Amino acid sequence: MNVVILAAGQGKRMRSDLPKVLHRLGGRPLLAHVLDTARELGAGRICVVYGHGGEAVREALDADDLVWVRQEPQLGTGHAVLQTLTFLDADAPTLVLYGDVPLIGAATLSRLVGLAGSGLGILTEDLEEPGGYGRIVRDEEGRVQRIVEERDASDEERALSEINTGFMVAPTPALLRWLPSLDNNNAQGEYYLTDIVGLAIDEGMPVATTQPDAAWEVLGVNSKVQLAELERLHQYRNALLLMEQGVTLLDPDRIDVRGELDCGRDVTIDVSCVFEGRVVLGDGVEIGAHCVLKNAVVGAGTRIAPFSHIEDAEAGSGCVIGPYARLRPGTKLGADVHIGNFVEVKNSTVADRSKANHLAYVGDATIGRNVNVGAGTITCNYDGASKHRTVIEDDVFIGSDTQLVAPVTVGRGATLGAGTTLTADAPPDKLTISRARQVTVPGWKRPAKKKPA
């Protein structure tokens, strides 16, 4: 089939400089969701009608399987589809989708497309408050006669509760006949796609309708309020899918997946976590409240305590991370690693069973196995011009409040005394300490304030 996606409108009520279809739902542009669904349906040809916002929409979402058709000016939905006619395969029906109606389901659309065999198919919906939509006008036998837009409707027609969702499927040769003949003699002075219904009836072509599986599938985004409502719907659906896969969500209303979250068995996620990009959680992973994970891989059995932030990083199995830990890009933790509160790790590898439990900065470091990094340890990786590496071999003990001025290597089994500023390599198996010897100064007096006279 051909799919035409209408995405040329301005979206005035968004009150934004960004074209409406580029606003994000689940971290991705609205239009990207519709493109996914079109591809899921196996569309042979996907034409996107764009216009408002110039080339921004095309640049954001260009792909080999898309035909971009610029509509300028935007003279209505019928005019929009008209622009695509030369790109459509006449042997296949044409399905019309909307760039700002992102939750439409493939199952609903498959049913709609199934109506195309005999003629025109329309997706309709019964609404208690049909205001603003085009109404479906039927005859006494219940056969569709036409669609009338709200602003062109009589009082009687406005009372009809069955509305046009906008989604339609039509035989492509019929569109080739009908669309060039549309006029704009209506309240909005637009070329209405909906007028093809009357044209189909005039030709004696059957017009069939079906309804969406769920009412929310046909909700559109016209304002920031609606965008937020759809975001919650989208997130809740995601949450249901995760729970169906066996993930424990402490509150399915408080999770945000803005990308792809892949979970093993018995994963538990506490409230208010955000997952961005691609995140993979192994079996038995526990994520505490208020964590943010972006492009992260977390090994089986690892626990991430609340308020931790992980980006472009990987943790092995059995690790204990956080609370308040930050793993920055290029971090790779082995198995059973502990990264505690207020510890920042960047572009570093930390091998199995090593620990940095409190208040440390580990940047551009290679840390071996069974290393203990004391509280307040800092790798001084930057000299103001370049970054340098710190190497800490297996079984090292780094005393608290140590600075490792890179490039520097701490040999296997070495111990650094607390407070050391290490500027040269520390040999293996020895205690290295740079601290001045402690003295108690005889006769010293604390300065006293002068008494007023």
Q: Is 309 considered catalytic here?
A: no
**In the complex, least distance from residue 110 CB atom to ligand UD1, rounded to whole angstroms:** 20
Amino acid identity for residue 167 in this structure: F
Please name the residues in contact with 136: beta carbons below 8 A apart, sequence gap of 6 or more. 122, 124, 144, 147, 160, 162, 163, 164, 209
How would you write 42-83 as a 3-class SS string? CCCEEEEEEECECCHHHHHHCCCCEEEEECCCCCCHHHHHHC
Report how many helices (DSSP H) and strands (DSSP E) the chain contains, helices first: 8, 35
Strands 120-126 and 162-170: antiparallel
Angle 239-256-286 (CA atoms, 0-180°, nearest 5)? 75
| Beta carbon nearer to ligand UD1, 76 or 121 | 76
| Of residues 160 and 362, the one with the C-beta less far from ligand UD1 | 160
- Residues pairing with 360 in the sheet: 343
Which of 14/398 has CB closer to ligand UD1?
Answer: 14
Nearer to ligand UD1, 149 or 314 (CB): 149
Task: Output the smallest distance, CB 244 to ligand UD1, in A.
Answer: 31
Within 13 Å, how many C-alpha atoms sit on residue 381's CB side? 18
Looking at beta carbons only, is 234 or 355 nearer to ligand UD1? 234
Cβ 237 vs Cβ 216: under 8 Å? no
Min dist. Cβ of residue 24 to ligand UD1 (A): 17
Q: Which CB atom, from 76 or from 93, has the smaller least distance to ligand UD1?
A: 76
Closest to 101 in 3D by CA, of 191, 9, 235, 175: 9
Give the residues lining the site for ligand UD1 (CB under 6 A): 6-9, 49, 71, 74-77, 79-80, 98-100, 133-134, 147, 149, 163-166, 192-194, 220
The answer for residues whose C-beta is within 8 angstroms of residue 377's C-beta and 6 or more apart is 356, 360, 361, 362, 398, 400, 401, 402, 403, 404
Distance CA 385, CA 426 (A): 24
Residue of 33, 234, 290, 358 marked active site: 358
Q: In the bound complex, what is the minimum distance in angstroms from residue 27's beta carbon to ligand UD1?
A: 21
Question: 277 CB contacts (<8 Å, ≥6 apart)?
Answer: 258, 259, 260, 294, 295
Rounded least distance, CB 163 to ligand UD1, Å: 5
Q: How far is the CB of 19 from ligand UD1 (least distance, A)?
A: 9
Catalytic residues: 358
